Each structure stands twice: as C-alpha cells, then as structure tokens.
Structure 1
Amino acid sequence: MEFSLKSFRCLAQAAPLALLLSACAVGSDYVKSNVETPPAFKEQVGWKIAQPADLQIPEKWWEMYNDPVLNKLEEQVTISNQTVIQAEAQYRQARALVQAASAAYYPTVAANVSSTRTSGTSTTKDTSSAVTGPSTTDLLTANVSWEPDIWGRVRRTIEANTSSAQASAAELQAMRLSTQAQLAQDYFQLRDQDADRQLYDKTVIDYKKSLELTQHQFDFGMVLRANVVLAETLLKQTEAQAIDFDVARAQMEHAIALLVGKPASTFSIAQVDKFDTQIPVLPLGLPSALLERRPDIANAERLVAAANAQIGVSKSAYFPDLTLAATGGYQSSGLANWISLPNRIWSLGPSLAETLFDGGARKAVTDQAIAAYDASVANYRQTVLAGFREVEDNIAALRILEQEAKKQEEAVKLSRRSVELMIKQYEAGLITYLDVITVETTALSNERVYVDLLNKRLSANVLLIKALGGGWSASQLPTANAVEKPNNKS
C-alpha cells in the first residue's frame, strides 16, 4: 500500500540495528550438571558386560519372552492406554508453547477499519459556541509493531520452552515404559495364578485318589474312620484353596484391561496349559551409559536446562524494552475520496520503556528462578541415584532368585519322591495317613514356592529392563527444530 511504504521503509532501516543489538542474551548458557557415576555396578558379579557391538535391549523388549499373547497386549499400550494418551497430549501442549514463544521474533501487523458519525459544538475566535451538524469520519489504518529481542528475553523463553517440551517428550516415553513394564508384570502374575490353579487342580486329583484308597482300607477294617475324615478334610480344603486363585486372577485380568484401555467387562485372557516362560539374559552397560538410556533421567536433565533458561528470562527484565512501530492509512469524511493522497495519514516512532523502581520485584523473580534451577539440579542428581539403585536392586534380585530357584527345584524333586515312598508305605500299612498328609502338604508347598519363584524372577527381569531404559536412548528426543515445527508429531 502506498500510504505505508515510507513508514515501512523506515522500520526496515531500523531493523538491522535492532538485530545487531540483539546478538547477545543475558543469563549464562546451559552446561549439563556433573553427576557422580560409579565405574561398575556392585551387584553385577559374574554378569557379562555389554560391549558396543553386543545386542542391546530392543525397543520392543517384551518380544524377548516369546509370548504371542503378551506381544499383542503390549502393542495396545501406546494406542489405547489413556494415561499414555494424556502424556502425549501434554507433550503436544508443551510443543505449542514453543511455537507461541517463537512468534515473538516477528512483527505484529494489524488493520483497522472504522466509520464514526458524530455531532457537537464548535468554538469561534470570540469564544462563542455554535451547534454543528453531524459529521462522518472514515478511517483505514494498518499498524506494524516489533519489539527486537535485544536482551535475549524471547530467545531464553524459547530455550526454556523447548527444553520443557523435550522434557515432556521424555516423560511421555517414561510413561510408556512404565505402563509396558506394569502390563508385563501383571501378565506374568496372571500366568502365575493360572499355574498355581493348575497345581492345585492336579493336587485335588491326587487327594481324591488318596481318599478312595483310605475309604477302601476303612471298608476292609485296615484303618480307622478318622483317617477317612482326615482325607476328606484335606480334599475339601485344597478344593477351596484352588477356587481362591480365581479371585486374584480376575483382578489381574481387570488390571490388564485398564492398562490396554479396554472395559473390564468385555476383556478376558484365556488360560494356557503350561507356564514356562524363559527368562532372557539382559546385556549390562556401564553405569555412565544409564544417563543416556533412561527417559526419566533425560526428563530431569531437560528440566534443568529449562530452569537455567528461565534465569536469563528473569534477568532480561532489568533492561529497557525497545519497540519499533509504524502506522499508516487513510482518513476522510466521505467515501468518495477516502483512499487518496490528500487523505493519507502515517506515523512512525520507536519507544523505549524501562522500569525505574519496582520494590525489588525483579530481584525476587530472579532469586526464584535461581532457586528453581538449584532444585531441578538436585532433582536430576536424585533421579540418577534412584536409577543406579533400581539397577542394583534388580541385578541382585535376579542373581539371588536364580540361586534360590535351583535349590527349590531340588526340594521339589525330593518332596515328590518322598510322597511316592510314603504312599507305598501307607498302602502297606506301615504308617498312618497323618504321615502321608504331612509329606503331601510339604510337597504342595514346595511346588507352589517354585512356581512363585518363576514369577518373581520374571518380575525382576522386567524391572531391570525398565531400570536400563527399555531400549530407549536420549538421542531419540526431538531436536529443537523438530519441536518448533507446528506439524511435527512424536
């Protein structure tokens, strides 16, 4: 538009100077905080240390268990788990804040069209007043204003929002990993309930045979009636205990339904004939690698970067704000000659604003930003320490539980042999049925402990995968450019 070319040229000539002044940004640039990392995990005695060329934990780590049902369930977590969907929406929200902050780099352009009808009085030179008739004022203007980022306030704000968005992306991955791990644990717990129920069902069959044998011996006067009652009691007690497993299984099934985003009333998992999932061996890296592989640590580190940038934002408030503005347009009392050279209006002028006294408000905001930074550094270091602890906990659990399982397997074999021998002695009338009950109860207890040990080992294995980051890497975080793109998707 001709009316504003002069104004815009002046604004364009002032822009390079403003850009030159905005080459600096107050506040210190971010440097990652140092954290103490041990040279090796204490509990990894006898554990193979993963080398760079070794197979790492895959992104779909649950496939290492070779369970098609588990694989199908895990695939549904990202799609339909509502907590993960909520975290993904929060990441998009954080990314939009970056885009909003980036808009401050550009000038604001506005247009205004108005038509005003007024009437009033006019004053002559002799100070007398006369009533004038109504008049119309038509106005068309365009306004351009730009606040150059001289002190880096916008730059630091974008830096803070970008780091926060990256932290949100890491939090999204941490939520996915946590949900996937919880699903695997619940699934193995459900299979443990199935295995326990099958064990008790088998035991019920054996106790029925024992009852038949005792009844037969009673009929021939070989044993007392008390032996029959004792056999019946043990059978009914075991049948009741077998039914009790259905409660825990139903609850696990409902918990899994929630994790995959399905109504519990329409969700079910069929039982399997045998639960003998193998426990995969996991590659361990150095503790220092943990800093780049856990999403919760990446989240905490990015929050430190965001807090550091906020210090620069708060310090920029100590410096004056420069605004470059230009207005151009047309003003006329009639539409006929409205847009014409004689009716052209324009204005151009920079403004400089500085707060001279605020009662210490800016200092308080800066102190708050520094304290928030210190708190985020402490949180980052605490998250790292917690990560080391989780790895150590589950390495120790796997190692110790494996040793226990070997001993328990021997106990199961011996208790089974003991039952066989005692039943033969009972049939021969050498011992009482109470002796048989004692060894059968011991055998059942050993069998159940062995089954539960498998579930504990699987749970520890899953938790170690989670503690090691689940195959994730900090290199998967979105870059600053990716965060700023409006159509970018995680």
Structure 2
Amino acid sequence: MKTSKRHALWPLAALLLGGCAVGPDYQRPAVTVPAAYKEAGDWKPATPADHLPRAAWWQAFADPQLDGLQQQLQKHNQTLRAAEASFRQALALLQQAEAGYSPTVTAGASASRGRASGDSAVATSYRAELSAAWELDLWGRVRRSVESGRASAEASAADLESTRLSAQAQLASAYFQLYVADRTLRLLDEQVAAYRQQLQITRNRYRQGVVSRADVVQAETQLKSTEVSLLAKRVTRRQLEHAIAVLLGRPPAGFTLAEQQQPPALPLLPAGLPSQLLERRPDIAAAERRVAAANAAIGVAKAGYFPSLTLAASGGYAASRLADWFSLPARFWSLGPELAVTLFNGGLTRAKTAEAIAAYDGSVANYRQTVLQGFQEVEDALTAIRLLDQQAALQVEALAAAREAETIARNQYQAGLVSYLDVVTVQSTRLSAEQEGLAILGSQLAARVALIKALGGGWQASPPAAG
C-alpha cells in the first residue's frame, strides 16, 4: 500500500520539478523550392549550413590590393562594429532569460525608530534578513523565453554574417568599378592627347588651304566633347574612392587609392554548380531563426493563463536593542510556497497571445519571402553572367571592326576621298566601342560578385576558413 502511494507521488513531483511547456513546439516552415535552378541544371538540394566557415571569396579575382582592402574592412568597418554590438546585446538578453532558471537571493539590514498607533512609547528596531524565492517553471514560461532568446541570438549572429558579406560585396563592387573608371580615364586621356594632335594638324592644313574651316570646328568639337567626358569620369572615380574609404572606416579626405594596373581575373563558374543557397545565406538563416523565436513567444504569452508557484524562504534577526540583535531569541524564519493566479486582467493575456500568433505568422511569411528573393537573386546573377560573357565576346569583334573602320577612314581622308566628318564618325564609334567593352567588363565582375553574395559567400561546396 505504501509503495503504491509512493508511486502515485511521482507524477506530482515531475510536474513540480519539470512542468510542461505550453505553446506549440517549433517546426521549420515548409518552403516550396525548385528541384533545379533555371539557369544551371545540376544543382543539389540544400541543407542548412550557415554556420560553416566562409572562404575569402574575393581571392578568386586574384587581386592582392583587393585582398588587403578586405582585411582592413574586417577591422574598421563601422557597420560591422554596430552589427557585432547588436549580437552581443542579443547574447546578453539570452543570459537574462536564462537567469529565470535560478532563484533570487537577497540580503538586507535596517535600523529604525518609530511609534505604533495608540502607543506613546517610541521603539527602536534592528533587523537583518536573508531571503530567497524561486518560481517553478510549471508551464514552461522560462523555457520558452530561453528558447526565444536563443533563437534571437542565433538570428543576430546570422545578421552579423549577412552584414559582413554585404560589406565585402560592396567593397568588391566599388573596387571593380574603380578599376573600370581608371581604365576609362586612361582611354580618354589617350584620346584627348590624340585629338589635340589631330586638331593641330587640321589647323595647319586649314592655314595651308588644304581643308575647310568646318574640319577645324569638327576637330575642336570632338576634342572638347572628349574632355567633358574625361572630367565626368574623374568625378565618378573620386566618388568611388570616397565610398571605399567609408567602407574601410576612414575619412575620404585622407584616403587615396592608387590605380591598379593589373586587371582582376574573371572567375569561371565550375560545371555542375552545387546549390548552397539555403545552406550558407545568412539572411535566410536569420529569417528562419526569427520564426523559431516568434514560435517560442507564443508559449510565453500563453503561460499567462496559468497560475505561478513560488517557493520562498527567509530568515534573520530582529531586536529592539542593538546588543540583542544577533542573539538566539531574536532569530526568525519563514518557509513556504505561494500560488498566484490572475483572475481578470481585461483580456490582456488573450491580446498578448493573439499578438504573438500574428507575429509568428508574419515571421513565417518573411522567411518564405526571403527564400524566394534568394532564388531570384541567384537566377538573376546566373542570367547576367551567361549573357554578359556572350556580350563580351561579341564586343571584342565589334571593337576590332571599329578599329579597322577608323584606320580605313583615316587613310581615305589623307587621300582626300572622304570628309573629316566621316573620320569623326568612325572615331566616335571606335571610342564608344572601347568604353562599352570596359562597361561590360565591369558588369561581368559585378555579376560574379552578386552571384557569390546570393550564394552566401562563394560557390565552393566545402569552403575553407578565411585567412
């Protein structure tokens, strides 16, 4: 009989010590994903792996100066510092939630003089007390709070990596644009020098009566137009340099970046590119972790429907004379449970639960939208790379044809077979072809950076740790 009674107490003991967690247990929301990318056929299904170390992906462009700039960005970028501080804040909030598992212990001492109602005598009271209170987590409020805090901290860590990847991509894009601007400036400088020489020759021929005044005006117009383009490109170059300085956490006024003579490499996409969109994209990981945090918050809100049970204990000494303060007769103590339940709060708990459920539904939608946007970014980048590579090949042929046409027109003009306007026309066509080729190169570099960013930091299946 005694044994059966002892067994009957086990469920009660388990309830008091462990309790149950109200609210739904977390399940990752289902997301409809394609079996393969439209722009690349052999992609494997993804499994979450945003925790894996990311490669120093910019090294694929084989540019030592870019590598050095990226190292500076890791140390001095202010946006990264702000994201790191937000992550530390999330960790501190998690520690606050975990503190709910532990009892609260307080100590105090006091001395007071006063008179009770109806008593003319003034009494002195000395008191020293130590008390402890522990709320049993019967309904999982603390556990759900810790679960939410942990998911929020993980989301903040993913936000930090997302900020890092975004800053790295911004720096690489600005650096490549700067390289294209420098190449364009070199081209325009050479053209201005050539047009000045050509204008001088045309003026000499005009004085000799060989050509008309119209040829001189056309040569002057061609020179001035190119000088205007040169100044506009110098503005662009300065602004890109300023943007890089800010990314590195430095004032633009004290920052100068030398012209890079060696062109960056164009990394080629490997055959059978593995799908790692859902594996390493930190923004998708952050969105999914926020769904988990919102799910746990529902349990925290629902715990308000249930009573709280607190175990409290206190003890100390109280006396009317300082000499008797710590004597045995002055000792007091108390120990016991306290059960409290909210009978009416005007629907506050119901409203908080409805708010938590709505926040969860919103986080699920945001997560799914982030995934869809990620797939779009990959598709866009793959399309751009494929078509820009084809465009670059055609532009090489177009530039070769434009150069040949310019040579022919010059020879014909020297022979008096065509007007100077014909020469200006073909020269403008050739210069436009040169600039278009550089613009396509910039777009090719930008598209590869965009694809790397869309894939969460590279397209290697098992990235090594960044150096």
TM-score normalized with structure 2 length: 0.90
Contact 1:57/1:470 (CA < 8 Å) preserved in 2?
Answer: no
- How far 1:74 sits from its partner (Å)? 1.3
One-letter amino acid matched to 1:384: V
**More displaced, 203-212 or 156-165?**
203-212
In structure 2, do the counterparts of structure 1 residues 391 and 218 end up closer, same or farther at CA, with 3 Å as the change threshold?
same
TM-superposed CA distance for 1:119, in Å, is: 4.2
- Structural mapping, 1:270-281, within 5 Å: 270-273=258-261, 276-281=263-268
Q: CA deviation at 1:96?
A: 0.4
State the 4+ residue runs in structure 1 displaced beyond 4 angstroms.
Answer: 18-21, 48-52, 119-123, 283-287
Q: What's the CA shift for 1:206?
A: 2.2
2:145 equivalent in structure 1: 157
Q: Which residue of 2 is the match for residue 168 of structure 1?
A: 156
Residue in structure 2 matched with residue 244 of structure 1 by the alignment: 232
Tell me, in whole angstroms, the C-alpha distance in 2 between the residues paired with 1:392 and 1:43. 6
Judging changes above 3 Å, is the alpha-carbon distance between structure 1 residues 472 and 157 closer, same or farther for their aligned structure 2 residues? farther
Pairing partner for 1:213 from 196, 201, 208? 201
Residues 1:469 and 2:456 are matched in the alignment: yes
Change (3 A) 1:99 1:51: closer
Q: Does residue 406 of the first structure (1) align with residue 390 of the second (2)?
A: no
Aligned pairs, number:
445
CA distance in 2 between partners of 1:370 and 1:387 (Å): 26
- Corresponding residue of 1:328: 315
Residue 190 (str. 1) matches residue 178 (str. 2):
yes
CA distance in 2, matches of 1:121, 1:270: 87
Question: In the alignment, what sits opposite 2:98?
Answer: 102
Matched to 1:139, the amino acid is R
How many Å apart are 1:140 and its aligned residue? 0.8
User: Amino acid of the residue matched to residue 160 of structure 1?
Assistant: S
Q: Which amino acid aligns with 2:139?
A: W
What percent identity do the matched residue pairs reach?
A: 50
What is the CA-CA distance between 1:49 and the residue it aligns to? 5.4
Which whole-Å deviations, capped at 9, do the CAs of 1:3-60 have from their partners, x for residues lacking one? xxxxxxxxxxxxx947744242111211111111111110126xx75899xxx99521
Q: Partner residue of 1:224?
A: 212
> C-alpha distance in 2, partners of 1:121/1:352?
32
1:8-87 map, 5 Å:
17=13, 20-44=16-40, 59-87=55-83
Change (3 A) 1:199 1:297: same
| Cα displacement (A) at 1:334 | 1.9
Give the gaps of 5 or more residues in structure 1: 1-15, 124-130, 477-490
Are the equivalent residues in 1 in contact too, given 2:273–2:459 (CA < 8 A)?
no
Q: Which one-letter code corresponds to 2:112 in the other structure?
A: T
Q: Could you tell me how far apart the structure 2 residues matched to 1:432 and 1:286 are?
A: 58
Q: Return the match for 2:306 from 313, 316, 319.
A: 319
Q: Secondary structure at the match of 2:407?
A: helix
| C-alpha distance in structure 1 between counterparts of 2:225 and 2:314, whole Å | 91
1:454 aligns with 2:454: no
Structure 2 regions of 5+ residues with no counterpart? 1-11, 47-51
Give the counterpart letter for 2:106 in structure 1.
Answer: A
Distance 1:160 1:433, change over 3 A: same
Amino acid at match of 2:422: D
Aligned-partner Cα distance in 2 for 1:169–1:299: 8
Deviation at 1:76, TM superposition (A): 2.0
Structure 1 residue 237: Cα displacement: 2.1
Which secondary structure state, in structure 1, belongs to the residue aligned with residue 375 of structure 2? helix
2:253 to 265, 273, 284: 265
Task: State the SS of the aligned residue for 1:29.
Answer: coil
Residue pair 2:452, 2:459 contacting (<8 A) in 1 also: no
Alignment partner for residue 429 of structure 2, among 442, 465, 468? 442
Distance 1:337 1:148 in 2: 37
Aligned to 1:351: 338
Counterparts of 1:355-370 in structure 2, within 5 Å, are 355-370=342-357
Superposed CA RMSD in Å reads 2.4
- Offset at 1:122? 5.9
User: Structure 1 residue 135: deviation in Å?
Assistant: 2.9
Question: What CA distance in whole angstroms lies between the structure 2 residues aligned with 1:136 and 1:282?
Answer: 86
Q: 1:240 to 1:471 in 2, by over 3 A?
A: closer
Conservation of the 8 A alpha-carbon contact between 1:300 and 1:376: yes
TM-score (normalizing by structure 1):
0.86
Which range moves more in the overlay, 19-28 or 460-469? 19-28
Q: Which moved more, 1:397-406 or 1:203-212?
A: 203-212
How far 1:286 moved relative to its partner?
Answer: 4.8
Q: How big is the shift at 1:217?
A: 3.0
Measure, in 2, the Cα distance between the counterparts of 1:388 and 1:67.
Answer: 29
Within 5 Å, give how 1:356-435 maps onto structure 2: 356-435=343-422
CA contact (8 A) 1:295 1:472 kept: no
User: What per-residue deviation string (whole Å, max 9, x for no partner) do you get for residues 260-303 of structure 1?
Assistant: 111011111112345x322112457454x321210000000000
**Shift of residue 189, structure 1, vs aligned partner:** 1.1
Structure 1 pair 262–445 and aligned structure 2 pair: CA distance change class (3 A): same
8 Å CA contact 1:39–1:286 kept in 2: the answer is no
For 1:85, give the aligned amino acid: R
Indicate conservation of the 8 Å contact 2:135/2:309, yes or no.
yes
Q: Secondary structure at the match of 2:125?
A: strand
Distance between the aligned counterparts of 2:331 and 2:459, measured in 1?
A: 63
Bigger shift: 238-247 or 138-147?
Answer: 238-247
Q: CA separation of 1:417/1:363 partners in 2, compared to 1, >3 Å: closer, same or farther? A: same
Deviation of 1:137 after TM superposition, in Å, equals: 1.4
> Residue 397 of structure 1: CA displacement?
0.4
| Residue 143 of structure 1: aligned partner | 131
The 8 Å contact of residues 170 and 296 in structure 1, kept in 2 or not, is answered as yes
Q: Which residue of 2 is the match for residue 254 of structure 1? A: 242
